[in-house]
Amino acid sequence: MPHKYEPEFKRKIVQLHLEEGRTYKSITAEYGVSKASISKWCEEFNKECQEKSQTDPSVKNEADLMKENLRLRRELDEAKKEDLFLKKAAAFFAKEIG
């Protein structure tokens, strides 16, 4: 029997996938929602966002903003890792020289 989910719940699941980069598998394991449902909700959300942005060009596509936010988070994480590595390398070489 199909399960009825509230729109807020669906939106949360879509946000976990698009904005936070969670995989279908991890969301399914945590929330018990099928991969097909998550995929369908993400598709519906993208369609809805595109329709909104077409009717009002001043409105940014929310799905695109979520994806951009995810990309920037990953980029920031990578920069932090590189920064930590460079700090450790600088400390190592300072110890070797001094």
User: Cβ distance 18 to 42 under 8 Å?
Assistant: yes
* pLDDT at residue 90 tops 80: yes
Q: Report if pTM > 0.75.
A: no
What is the arithmetic mean of pLDDT over 65-93?
93
* pLDDT at residue 9 tops 90: yes
Q: What is the pLDDT of residues 25-74, one digit of tens each?
A: 999 999 999 999 999 999 999 888 888 777 777 667 788 888 899 999 99
Q: d(Cα 76, Cα 59) in Å, to the nearest integer?
A: 26
HSE, CB side, 13 Å, CA atoms: give it for residue 54.
Answer: 6
